[in-house]
Amino acid sequence: MAPVKQARFITVVKTSAWYDLAITWPFATPWTFALLYGVLGSMSQGLGLPGELPPRDATNTLFANLMGSVVLVWSLARILSPSVRLGRLDGVARWLFAAWQIHAVMSGGSAIVLAFTVIEMLFGALQFLPMEDEAREQS
């Protein structure tokens, strides 16, 4: 695969951060998570997807809110101060997220999660592309 220019790489870092901001803000509060959870459950049932979303309770709401809050802050860090290092770290985080999402679905969780997994894997792969400067240093 051909190395990419650093400016293009930084654009990917920022784009992935904006995607995260748009997708995860509803996870950040109990009220927005309750609305999102209802929508995801209805979509999953309406599409006839396998697996299930467990009943929403205080514990899974807490974990969703923690994840949503951390990802919002992480997104803002990448938007305000994008860098190759943050992009590489985000790539690692995305592959971890994808692994746990696949594990959840294989353990009986709703397959609606896989829509997010595809995007995690795409941004994860893009943030591991070699850059021109790195390719020159290795030659």
Residue 83 tokens read as 């860098």
For residue 2, give the 3-state DSSP assignment: coil
Quote the strand ranges of 1-139, DSSP E: none
**pLDDT-based confidence at 136, cuts 50/70/90?**
low
Residue of higher predicted confidence among 124 and 135: 124
Model confidence pLDDT, tens digit, residues 77-134: 999 999 999 999 999 999 999 999 999 999 999 999 999 999 999 999 999 999 887 6
Residue 67 tokens read as 């994840």
In a domain, 64, yes or no: yes
In a domain, 15, yes or no: yes
In a domain, 40, yes or no: yes
Between the alpha carbon of residue 28 and those of residues 9, 23, 46, 67, 129, the distances in Å are 28, 10, 25, 7, 31
Residue 104 tokens read as 């959840």
Q: What is the pTM of this model?
A: 0.87
In a domain, 109, yes or no: yes
CB 95 within 8 A of CB 121: yes
**How many domains, the chain?**
1
In a domain, 1, yes or no: no
Structural domain that includes position 28: 6-138
Between the alpha carbon of residue 90 and those of residues 12, 20, 74, 76, the distances in Å are 11, 11, 9, 13
Alpha-carbon torsion (85, 88, 94, 97), positive or negative: negative
In a domain, 100, yes or no: yes
CB 87 within 8 A of CB 20: no
